[in-house]
């Protein structure tokens, strides 16, 4: 295999954080970057992931549910089995 050098400009903080994660995984950062390049070549696509952010209504419901859970309000269960849960939900 003939090797080539790629120079890529990136934020130094990002590079340092990526190197730290790679070290925790026990891998050189170059190995991880090469893996991403192989995936790009094989799949011919780039995936950018963005964290999911709920809309206002869903966010409010999640906040209320979390508050209820921590206050031990509006809790049902645990159920002994799926049939007991179905009976409760059908009621």
For every one of its 91 residues, what pLDDT tens digit does the chain have, with 9 covering 90 and above? 899 999 999 999 999 999 999 999 999 999 999 999 999 999 999 988 888 899 999 999 999 999 999 998 988 888 999 999 999 999 8
Contact in structure between 54 and 65 (CB atoms under 8 Å)? no
3-state secondary structure the chain: CCCCCCCCCCCHHHHHHHHHHHHHHCCCHHHHHHHHHHHHHHHCCCCCCCCCCCCHHHHHHHHHHHHHHHCCCCCCCCCCCHHHHHHHHHC
Give the pLDDT of residue 45.
94
Question: Where along the chain do its domains lie?
Answer: 12-43, 56-90
């Amino acid at each position: 295999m003939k090797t080539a050098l790629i120079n890529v400009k990136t934020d130094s903080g990002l590079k340092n954080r990526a190197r730290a994660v790679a070290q925790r995984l026990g891998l050189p950062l170059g190995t991880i970057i090469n893996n991403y390049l192989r995936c790009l070549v094989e799949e011919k696509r780039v995936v950018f992931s963005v964290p999911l952010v709920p809309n206002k209504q869903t966010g409010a419901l999640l906040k209320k549910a979390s508050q209820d859970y921590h206050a031990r309000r509006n809790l049902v269960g645990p159920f002994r089995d799926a049939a007991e849960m179905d009976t409760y939900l059908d009621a």
